[in-house]
Chains A and B, each alone.
Chain A
Amino acid sequence: MAKVFIYPATSLILSDLVARFGHKPLGAALGIRERIQTAGIDSPPLQITPEEPKRGLKYAAVEVPSGVRGRMAIYGPLIEEAEAAVVVNDADLAFGCMGCARTDELILFSLRQSGIPILELKYPTNEDEGVQFVAAIKKFLASLPKEGEA
């Protein structure tokens, strides 16, 4: 079983696909779930304190906007942990989206720099593309080591 970073990190569909094919998805739900400080498990999760942008300094310099550093405090450790990544570019907002384009650039750069296998796909716009999209993800995930193989 490989740890697979998903992008957009908020995509439940991607998260589900990765889990269905026997791997561990690394995305926003995971990053945020580990930090929950709210009344309920489904409360708005962003109980981030001013400490997060400081923790984010590990991934982005102080001159980088605080919102980018705060996000990197969540996604940076997940990228470090990731053994593979599935990246969907130009996704529809409803598919899962990231609020800050500058963080997106840094996340994608960090993933590419890490040297892990990455599947980059364009968001499908019709049914045929949708079928190819899922097939490509399935093939990629199948190529990753399963439990006990790593």
Chain B
Amino acid sequence: MSRKVRIAQLSCGPEYSGVQKEIYDAAEAVGAEVFFPDIALADVERAVDKFGLDVRSADLKLMIARGMALVDGKVDADGVFIGTCFRCAEAAIVRNELRRYIPEHSKLPVVSYSFTERTTSGTLLTRMEALTTIARRRALLAREEQTGITMGVDSGSSTTKAVVMKDNKIVGTGWLPTTEVIKSAEGAVAQALEMAGLAREDIQAIGTTGYGRFLIGKHLKADLIQEELTVNSKGAVYLAGHQRGPSTVIDIGGMDNKAISVIDGIPGTFTMGGICAGASGRFLEMTAKRLGVDITELGPLAMKGMGKNVSMNSYCIVFGTQSLVNALAAGSSREDVAAAACHSVAEQVFEQQLQEIDIKEPVIMVGGTSLIEGLVYAMGQLLQTEIVVPPYSQYIGAVGSALLSSGFILGE
């Protein structure tokens, strides 16, 4: 049995919030163990002085001291989980600075989260899984070329995608809305195989990702079942032809968003979430429906409009929809409304998530929403950079899975 991945916990408030058990459970579920770096009480104030962030809460001082002990190599760990109470400004400052400081001064992967008493192990699972994968499977993640015949299936919250790859080329793709998880996966797989002109028995290795990864992974007897943070990072830099050096991957999904700071194809820091569906692809789907166009037409429509002409804030999907309806009722053009909707989603992601990672160019947008050119344009405007949308960007998870699963053909 492989050694458990040791995750150092730096936190303030999880016990009094009643969520410490959830953190333990999430780590346990992915074969990791959480521990608290052991440091001397006398070292706490010294470390805080050295770090230079004058905080008042003793638990935050302890977090800083523990973070510095990790960076100084006084404590061994494979990864770091940073957690503080949601809505605490003092803790947010410490959380952000440590999240930046640790990767800058060590090779430790870091994930952070702000919790409430409602946080469950399920919410933390994908983050913990990504953290343990980066720590445990560095060799697998270093893969830059697909070999043999492999298939990747991404069972997302809105759509299911399948990709067949052969000798480092995409030879088949399949796409279906996710209704019944297994049925949708079977359908997408059949499409991809048909396009590739191959049969199931020709596939040498399978990888699955997305919300339904465990269910379809078991059903398809997958070699690799992997959360989407690492898989999407790999897929993005592979398709963008930027496997070495830093990059930033943004995936605005149907249910949540991911912003990942990537170095040499391996995620460094990442955030996942979104306060409300107002910051996700779901809001754009609703906008398209209200405007009476197909989602594929929303992007071009938005490019013809001026977002500034319509005031829209989709922080909450209900209020966002209200502004959309009000704008149309007040005589705004469909083009302007479409542009405003794209800008609003981009702005929510920018404000809620991109502030939490270091944006390094190139910025690669992936996932189905990256095909909405109005959204890509709005994000580029906000970040003041040209966004890269690689070919097959909507199949990113499936491509990443197919790429990584080829490592299993020879039992790597």
Q: Do A and B bind each other?
A: yes
B59 near A52 with CB under 8 A, answer no
B17 near A50 with CB under 8 A, answer yes
Contact A67 to B41, CB < 8 A, known contacts A101-B57, A102-B88: no
From the candidates B14, B41, B90, name the one contacting A94 in the complex (CB within 8 A): B41
- CA A65 to CA B18, docked complex, whole Å: 12
Q: Which residues from chain A contact B84 at a C-beta distance below 8 Å? A: 67
Q: Which residues from chain B contact A52 at a C-beta distance below 8 Å? A: 16, 18, 117
Q: Which residues from chain B contact A147 at a C-beta distance below 8 Å? A: none
> B69-98 CB contact bits vs A (8 Å, 1 = yes)?
000000000000000111110110000000
Is B24 an interface position by the 8 A CB rule? no
From the candidates A50, A97, A100, name the one contacting B18 in the complex (CB within 8 A): A50
A98 near B58 with CB under 8 A, answer yes
Q: Which residues from chain B contact A130 at a C-beta distance below 8 Å? A: none
Total contacts A to B, CB within 8 angstroms? 93
From the candidates B59, B115, B117, name the one contacting A100 in the complex (CB within 8 A): B59
Is A24 an interface position by the 8 A CB rule? no
Is B291 an interface position by the 8 A CB rule? no
A99 near B58 with CB under 8 A, answer yes
Q: Distance (Å) between the CB of A85 and the closest chain B CB? A: 20
Q: Which residues from chain B contact A51 at a C-beta distance below 8 Å? A: 18
A65 near B58 with CB under 8 A, answer no
B57 near A65 with CB under 8 A, answer no
A53 near B17 with CB under 8 A, answer yes
- CA A89 to CA B69, docked complex, whole Å: 28
Is B20 an interface position by the 8 A CB rule? yes
> B44-58 CB contact bits vs A (8 Å, 1 = yes)?
110000000001111
> A16-42 CB contact bits vs B (8 Å, 1 = yes)?
000000000000000000000000000
Q: Chain B, interface size: which category? A: 20 to 34
Is A70 an interface position by the 8 A CB rule? yes
Q: Which residues from chain A contact B91 at a C-beta distance below 8 Å? A: 65
Q: Count residues of A near B (Cβ-Cβ below 8 Å).
A: 26
- CA A71 to CA B13, docked complex, whole Å: 9
Is A63 an interface position by the 8 A CB rule? yes
From the candidates A46, A93, A94, A104, name the one contacting B15 in the complex (CB within 8 A): A46
- CA A66 to CA B19, docked complex, whole Å: 10
Q: Distance (Å) between the CB of A11 and the closest chain B CB? A: 13
From the candidates B58, B61, B62, B85, name the one contacting A67 in the complex (CB within 8 A): B85
> A69-112 CB contact bits vs B (8 Å, 1 = yes)?
11100000000000000000000011001111110100000000
B16 near A48 with CB under 8 A, answer yes
Q: Distance (Å) between the CB of A100 and the closest chain B CB? A: 5
Is B3 an interface position by the 8 A CB rule? no
Q: Which residues from chain B contact A48 at a C-beta distance below 8 Å? A: 15-18
Q: Which residues from chain B contact A70 at a C-beta distance below 8 Å? A: 13, 15-18, 117
Q: Can you name 25 A-B pairs with beta carbons within 8 Å?
A: A50-B118, A53-B116, A63-B87, A65-B86, A66-B17, A66-B85, A66-B116, A67-B13, A67-B14, A67-B84, A68-B13, A68-B85, A70-B13, A70-B15, A93-B41, A93-B44, A93-B58, A93-B61, A99-B16, A99-B58, A100-B16, A100-B58, A101-B56, A102-B57, A102-B88
| Given A64-B87, A94-B41, A101-B56, 20 more pairs with CB closer than 8 A | A48-B15, A54-B117, A63-B87, A65-B13, A65-B91, A66-B18, A66-B85, A66-B86, A66-B116, A67-B13, A67-B88, A68-B13, A68-B85, A70-B16, A70-B18, A71-B16, A93-B58, A99-B13, A99-B59, A102-B88
Which residues does B use to contact A, with CB under 8 Å? 12-20, 41, 44-45, 55-62, 84-88, 90-91, 115-118
Interchain residue pairs A-B with the least CB separation, the first 8: A67-B13, A70-B16, A65-B85, A99-B59, A101-B56, A50-B18, A66-B17, A53-B117
